[in-house]
A and B are shown apart, each in its own frame.
Chain A
Amino acid sequence: MLNLTAYKRQEPHPWSSCLVFLAAVLLSLAVSAILLKLQGKPALQGIELLFRGALGSRWSIEDCLIKAIPIFLCSLGVAIAFRLQIWNIGAEGQFALGAIGATWAALTFPDQPAYLLLPLMAVMAFVAGGLWGLVPALLKLRMRANEIIVTLMLNYIAILLLDYLVYGRWKDPGSFGFPMTKTFSATAIVPKITGTEINWGLGLCLICGMVMWVFFRFTRKGFELKVAGENLNATRYAGLPYEKLVCFVMITSGALAGWAGFIEASATINRLQPSIMVGYGYTAIVVAWLARLNPLTIGIASFLLAALRVGIENLQLELQVPAAFGGIMEGMILLTVLAGSYFNEFGFRLRRRS
């Protein structure tokens, strides 16, 4: 009699992760097609509309890239913390603080030239987001507070702080009482890459991604981080500065999310308003896990998720499917990909039972 048993692979199969990913996406698309059919919509045309909406033209690809920018930055941020097994759920709040920091600079020095103002906004976003990230790190180290809870709670505080500012202090007097700051001056807006609609936030993404890759690959600190993430006891035994590492990753993590807030406020909204918060900080966690914390894969995953969200809008417009359909597809892809990762780590053996 034949019996199928699973065994843990020593080395993940080199091509399997790619294959599993593709298979998972195909499976989700197939299920989505069935769901479309059940709603009485043309299934294949629906999938085609999804792709065409996301990747079918130059501007739709540009749209996807623009949307991928904040997702990528937040995701890179949480990934570095996850590498050390520090569970930073607070990218949302750090994003908000980054936006607040950048807005402060934009509102305080509106007349400065762009070459001074934009770097200042970036620095303020970095500092604000980084400090917001440092708080849970310190609480964890000094008071043994669980960082998952603290970062999550700080999200709410950050959003309330943002609300407080745009409903009060920073409210544009000309806005008829609506909660938003004045439009930023032209010098406080991150310019677009010439000839495209994409802002230079994409450049920032590329630089951050490269730096992160080099950091993990070639630097000592990067190595320390990897080791400390794998085994805490070994870290302590080897005399690695665990506490400093925790602070370091949380500051970096917060700062990257802060930069995402800076780019969103400056380049795409041109002001601060409550609707800047659309949950990129939480999306980032999903993306980081989908991409298994690898900077390059995070780039791909951010783009694909952005593409899915952009494509769904086209599907909605053309076929009038409910908005919830996008959420269902997203959930399905995440579920199948994560479930599929089982096949990366485990192989199967046929065994003859006597």
Chain B
Amino acid sequence: MSRRIVGVLCCLLLVLSAAPTMAKDLQVGFVYVSPIGDAGWSYAHDQGRLYIDKLDGVTTSYVEAVPEGPDSERVMLNMARKNYDLIFATSFGYMDPMLKVAKKFPKTTFMHCSGYKTADNMGNYFGRMYQARYLSGMVAGSMTKSNILGYAAAFPIPEVIRGINAFTLGAQAVNPDVQVRVVWTKTWYDPATEKEAAKSLLDVGADVIAQHQDSPGPQEAAQEKGVYSIGYNSDMSSFAPKSHLCAPVWNWGPYYKEVVDAVRAGTFKPEAVWFGMEHGIVDLSPMSDMVPADVQKAVLAKKEAITSGQAKIFVGPIKDQAGKERVPAGQTADDGALLGMDYFIQGVIGTTE
């Protein structure tokens, strides 16, 4: 009898002691490379953060404008020491610092965006933005009169190069004479420099400005000159309503919820995921009224085909600037080739150095 009472008491104690830990919110931290007010890359991730912040039992926080390097390692360490359960780091340069921290805190889950390394408690994720870039290229190629498209881009790394090539392929699909001129800004986030880069493209006759940056600076430059532009990261039409045609956009919220659910359910697996439009992680923002209906229709049809998996982007024959065949006719570039892409295709004016 007394044994049974002791047993019941023990159970009660166990339940009581376990209850607070079960009720504890899942703490999720985000590390951003630029301020969330950038309307671009970090803003898009922060929208994802707000999406999961609304969930029951999830609290989130973030640190913005963290330089890639030792500073980011310290920020992540600080989160892990404060018992954050899940940490998202959303810039390529956070990869190695995150790996170091992940080894020290095996109970915390780490998610790195845009890299390639994983560990037992660290996954990485990215989206096939090149699919949406292709669609935006179709829009740009249809709208240009000078047949010169400008592209203000941050750094010559595979992600950016891939986007430029996809954009060019999209533009060439509707307008074979088009050429894409690229200017490197060597910065992710510097609105003034981005704007200057866009202006230099306008000076060589570009009449549609696309970009791979973190701010709407290029959009503003295009609007001032009265030419069209293609945004990036988020729908930037409010910054340049008369110029903004459409934007390849990120939509991280649903995916972040999946990760949160997996961590809570204990089913998290450290994978390297690279989702495309079929997963909704990348998309094309609604097109402006300035884009003619038939162009919109063609773009949406292509989007449909990409989403369903029928259409691929990097289908041969694809030749690089020097005329060397990179993807043979009839073949599709595999993910390895895409991830390490370091050449421009024909039709791009610029250098990947």
Over the window 51-72 of chain A, the binary record of Cβ atoms lying under 8 Å from chain B Cβ atoms (1 yes, 0 no) is 0010000011001001100000
Which residues of A lie under 8 Å from residue B66 when comparing CB positions? 313, 323
A268 touches B35 (CB 8 A): no
Check A219 for interface membership: any CB of B closer than 8 A: no
Residues 246-282 (chain A) with a chain B CB within 8 angstroms: 264, 268-271, 273, 275-276, 278
Check B79 for interface membership: any CB of A closer than 8 A: yes
B155 touches A179 (CB 8 A): yes
Interface locus among B144-152, B244-252, B282-290, B334-342? B334-342
B85 vs chain A, min Cβ distance (A): 15
- Give the interface centre of A167, A168, A177, A183 by most chain B CB atoms within 10 Å: A177
How many A-B residue pairs have C-beta atoms within 8 angstroms? Tell me.
85
Tell whether A268 pairs with B157 under 8 Å between CB atoms, given A168-B353, A320-B61. no
A270 touches B96 (CB 8 A): yes
Task: Among B62, B74, B93, B340, point to the contact of A273 (Cβ < 8 A).
Answer: B93
Tell whether A313 pairs with B63 under 8 Å between CB atoms, given A178-B92, A268-B70, A276-B69. yes
Which residues of A lie under 8 Å from residue B339 when comparing CB positions? 176
CA distance A63 to B76 in the complex (A): 12
CA distance A130 to B150 in the complex (A): 42
B70 touches A264 (CB 8 A): yes
Check B48 for interface membership: any CB of A closer than 8 A: no
Which residues of B lie under 8 Å from residue A314 when comparing CB positions? 78
A313 touches B92 (CB 8 A): no
Which residues of A lie under 8 Å from residue B63 when comparing CB positions? 313, 316-317, 323
Over the window 50-85 of chain B, the binary record of Cβ atoms lying under 8 Å from chain A Cβ atoms (1 yes, 0 no) is 000000000001111111111101110111011000
CA distance A264 to B186 in the complex (A): 21
B342 touches A67 (CB 8 A): no
Check A318 for interface membership: any CB of B closer than 8 A: yes
Chain A residue total in the interface (Cβ 8 A): 33
Check B37 for interface membership: any CB of A closer than 8 A: yes
Check A119 for interface membership: any CB of B closer than 8 A: no
Check B163 for interface membership: any CB of A closer than 8 A: no
Q: Which residues of B contact A (CB under 8 A)?
A: 29, 35, 37, 61-71, 73-75, 77-79, 81-82, 92-93, 96, 116, 155-158, 161, 186, 339-342, 353
Q: Which residues of A contact B (CB under 8 A)?
A: 53, 59-60, 63, 66-67, 163, 167-168, 176-179, 183, 264, 268-271, 273, 275-276, 278, 310, 313-314, 316-318, 320, 322-324
25 contacts between A and B (CB under 8 A): A63-B74, A63-B78, A66-B70, A66-B74, A167-B353, A176-B339, A177-B161, A179-B155, A269-B69, A269-B70, A269-B96, A275-B67, A276-B69, A278-B69, A310-B74, A313-B63, A316-B62, A316-B64, A317-B29, A317-B61, A317-B63, A317-B79, A322-B37, A324-B35, A324-B65
